[in-house]
Amino acid sequence: MTQPPTALPRARWLERRIPPPLVGLACAALMYGLAQVTPDLPIALPPALRLLLALLVLATGVATCLAGALAFRRARTTVNPIHPERTSALVIRGIYHRTRNPMYLGFALMLLGWGLWLAAPFALAGVVLFMLYIERYQIPPEERMLEQLFGADYLAYREQVRRWL
């Protein structure tokens, strides 16, 4: 039996199950745990400079997330990553002119800032884990939905703008 063209694509069992902010928090907790049981990174930076660098990266991540969320609000479309079928507009302006996923990029930058502060090399695995999860279980179903909803307009946008940077 085939699905009608308006039916939602079937998601694999883990796709879109866990909200990305929750994935980010879990990765941050994992990073903290790893930092407690692994050696510190031998960085020649004084703690104050390391804090400044970590805060700069973290603030860049927060600003990137907010820019993405505000662009969605201006377009009066949903920010809810669990229900991309509720999307009512294809947002391609502002920060979406540079990256197709500014909110996920922002979360990754926030985790990177956290990892810089922790100064434990194995803790940075949390950033990689977050990006792998998002790349595998969050972005593909969203992209399938956007292609279904916006067709050629989304495909043209996808050709012009990178997924991350």
CA 132 to the chain's CA centroid: 10
Composition of the chain by helix, strand, coil, percent to 5: 65, 0, 35
Distances (CA, A) of 72 to 8, 23, 103, 145: 21, 21, 11, 16
pLDDT at 12: 66
Question: Which pLDDT does position 8 carry in this prediction?
Answer: 44
Domain ranges of the chain: 20-36+52-160
- pLDDT tens series, the chain, 165 aa: 444 444 444 446 667 789 999 999 999 999 999 999 988 766 677 889 999 999 999 999 999 999 999 999 999 999 988 888 889 999 999 999 999 999 999 999 999 999 999 988 899 999 999 999 999 999 999 999 999 999 999 999 999 999 999
The span from the CA of 65 to the CA of 68, in Å, is: 5
Contact call for residues 94 and 71 (beta carbons, < 8 A): yes
